[in-house]
Amino acid sequence: MNFVLAILPILIVLIGMLLFSRSGTFMSVVGWVLSIIVAVTYFKTPINVALGASVMGVVKALGITLAVVFTMFLIFLMRETGALQRIIQYVKGIAKTKEEQALFIGMGFGSLATALGMVTPAMFPPVFLMLGFSPIAAIGISVLCYDPLTSFALFSIPITLPAKVAWGPFGIRPPGVPNLEEFIWNFTHKITVFLPVVSVCFALLMLYTIEGKDSVKKHWKQALVAGLVLSLTSYVIAAFRILPVEVIGIASGFVTMVAVYFMFSKNRKEKAEEHRWDADLVQSMFPLILLVVFSMVVNIPTIKKYLANVLGRSEVITIIANKKTDLNIFANVWFWILVTCVLSIPILRPTPEQLRNTFKTWLQRIWGPFIAYSLFFAVAFVMAWSAMEVANGKLVPGPHFADYNMDRIIGVTLAKIFGDLYPFLSPFLGLFGAFVGGSETASNVLFAKIQFEATKMTVGAQAFMWIYAAHAVGGGIASAITPSKITNAAATIGVKGEEEAKLLKVVIFPVLVMCVFVGIMVMALV
């Protein structure tokens, strides 16, 4: 009963979206309310802790929600001023067929953009729609291209941040891992071992969203090459530590774009004149160029550290008891997307009517993604803080924490059920965690200690790094079915629940199959 009630909020979200075609926004509200009810009434969580966890989730989600909100404004502004149309014409000149466009933009530029901190579910749907893709394909590829590399988004924060938390506050010390730096590199390298299978599956799934099996039959070889180039580039860089962990996704995405370009070179000989640079194209691409520059500069470690300390303690807020969070406004990518929006207005020179239309569309469509991301993060923290209480001004595990913490119940129950087969299950737990929190980073942080304890109970602590890597990969795979990302992508082109449900039905089985592949691989490796 404990296990069933612990996973009930997520089951309800899935059922609502899959069977009743309700939007991710609506189901995020349902899931959050239900998580509060079960946490307070059954899992011995004081109401102030449950509400504090919800606030913490919303605040922690700001890095994503605000990036999404301002990215949507930028895309709507570019569309109204005609900049997006000019970029589309350029893309058509270098990528002729839909399949080539999916692999060039999705596998290549999508991975690069995601590594730079851009939010592809917010940026790409209008682009694919204008390229002639169906709404389902436009949403699908935009969501899928967020994570063919699973963990190398946003300068590899899904790897580095959880590693620092696991090594620091959680005190996790896997055998043979002497320090934090080695933890990060070990974690990174093991993640890349799974990517040749996962990245190829993502490439094939992108093709499938276009015209189903026909697209896959025609271009499976190109998808295979794109997936292998993307994944093996990251593997080689990680194995030999050629570049910093933070830029592996950028390098891999760029190499993949080049590979796809040359694979399809015969398709564009007669179109050479269509992909020349001119002043209008440069002006149209200015917002994207500026965003790339800002993303790269701001994430230089010394600059990022300086920006994070500009406002000092004034941007540190207390949520509940001793739980505080630093907003790090100037060091966050959303702030620089906002700056890009402001600077793009005088460059793109919208008319008053175009600017009014931009704001009108923006204000109509931002609320769904904002609510969905915020509340799915809130659910993740309610589950993580369940059975905790405030004592002497600190949030601490309550007397019933071991038996009533929702995350612990899920992890320990699965470990007991599967025993030595637990490694096979680890990517599914990562999938579950990211589905709840809307983020692989959240999943990797919230389940690190659970995975470590469950691993020690089953196959031994020496296997933890492989199991944690498989968990991270599963969390990355979850991007394809995360309701908050699907809702975000749907909102940018003005479609809602029915299209979201259709996409979820298309991708959920392949996503589970990918996790099966990862589970088999980790079983063989440990």
DSSP assignment of 462-512: GGHHHHHHHHHHHHHHGGGT-HHHHHHHHHHTT--HHHHHHHHHHHHHHHH
DSSP of 351-385: -HHHHHHHHHHHHHHSHHHHHHHHHHHHHHHHHHH
Residue 8's contacts (CB-CB under 8 Å, 6 or more residues apart) are: 34, 38
Predicted local confidence at residue 487, as pLDDT: 78
Predicted local confidence at residue 497, as pLDDT: 62
470/451 Cα distance (integer angstroms):
11
C-alpha atoms less than 13 angstroms from C-alpha of 277 in its C-beta half-sphere? 4
List the alpha helices (DSSP H) in 388-463: 401-404, 406-418, 422-437, 440-446, 448-458
Worst-scoring range by mean pLDDT, 67-81, 306-320, 434-448? 434-448
3-class SS string, 205-265: HHHHHHHCHHHHHHHHHHHHHHHHHHHHHHHHHHHHCCCCHHHHHHHHHHHHHHHHHHHCH
Predicted local confidence at residue 121, as pLDDT: 84
**Average pLDDT of span 61-73:** 83
Residue 388, strand partner residues: 397
Which residue range is the domain that position 246 belongs to? 2-525
15/287 Cα distance (integer angstroms):
39
Mind listing the pLDDT tens digit for each residue in 221-231? 999 999 999 99
pLDDT score of 280 more than 90: no
3-class SS string, 171-182: CCCCCCCCCHHH
Which residue, chain included where needed, has tokens 């008891």? 321
Closest-CA residue to 192 (of 233, 132, 253, 223): 233
Residue 317, strand partner residues: 325
Mind listing the pLDDT tens digit for each residue in 472-520? 999 999 888 877 778 778 887 877 667 777 777 888 899 999 999 999 9
Instruction: Name the pLDDT band for 233 (thresholds 50, 70, 90).
Output: very high
Which residue, chain included where needed, has tokens 């194995």? 239
Who has greater pLDDT, 333 or 421? 421
Predicted local confidence at residue 438, as pLDDT: 64
Predicted local confidence at residue 190, as pLDDT: 97
Which residue, chain included where needed, has tokens 């402001």? 342
Closest-CA residue to 147 (of 127, 183, 125, 121): 121
477/434 Cα distance (integer angstroms):
9
492/115 Cα distance (integer angstroms):
21
Which residue, chain included where needed, has tokens 């002639």? 132
Residue 395, strand partner residues: 390
Mean pLDDT of the chain, nearest integer: 87
Residue 434: strand, helix, or coil: helix
518/198 Cα distance (integer angstroms):
8
Instruction: Name the pLDDT band for 234 (thresholds 50, 70, 90).
Output: very high
Sign of the C-alpha dihedral, residues 252, 83, 63, 378?
negative
Share of the chain above pLDDT 90, in %: 42
Predicted local confidence at residue 266, as pLDDT: 65
**Average pLDDT of span 71-92:** 84
pLDDT score of 17 more than 80: no
Predicted local confidence at residue 445, as pLDDT: 76
Closest-CA residue to 121 (of 67, 79, 158): 67
C-alpha atoms less than 13 angstroms from C-alpha of 140 in its C-beta half-sphere? 29
pLDDT score of 390 more than 80: yes
Predicted local confidence at residue 117, as pLDDT: 65
DSSP of 28-92: HHHHHHHHHHHHHHTS---HHHHHHHHHHHHHHTHHHHHHHHHHHHHHHHHHHHTHHHHHHHHHH
Share of the chain above pLDDT 70, in %: 95
Judge contact between 94 and 197, C-beta under 8 A: no
Predicted local confidence at residue 315, as pLDDT: 92
Predicted local confidence at residue 91, as pLDDT: 76
**Average pLDDT of span 15-32:** 82
Predicted local confidence at residue 436, as pLDDT: 66
Residue 316: strand, helix, or coil: strand
- Which helix (H) or strand (E) element contains residue 318? strand 316-320
Predicted local confidence at residue 276, as pLDDT: 64
Residue 410's contacts (CB-CB under 8 Å, 6 or more residues apart) are: 3, 6, 7, 429, 432, 450
483/121 Cα distance (integer angstroms):
11
Number of domains observed in the structure of the chain: 1
Predicted local confidence at residue 169, as pLDDT: 66
Predicted local confidence at residue 174, as pLDDT: 94
pLDDT score of 271 more than 70: no
Task: Give the length of the chain.
Answer: 526
Instruction: Name the pLDDT band for 85 (thresholds 50, 70, 90).
Output: confident
167/174 Cα distance (integer angstroms):
9
Task: Tell me the residue type at 324.
Answer: K
Predicted local confidence at residue 36, as pLDDT: 97
Residue 465, strand partner residues: none
Worst-scoring range by mean pLDDT, 259-263, 323-327, 504-508? 504-508
Mind listing the pLDDT tens digit for each residue in 396-406? 999 999 899 98
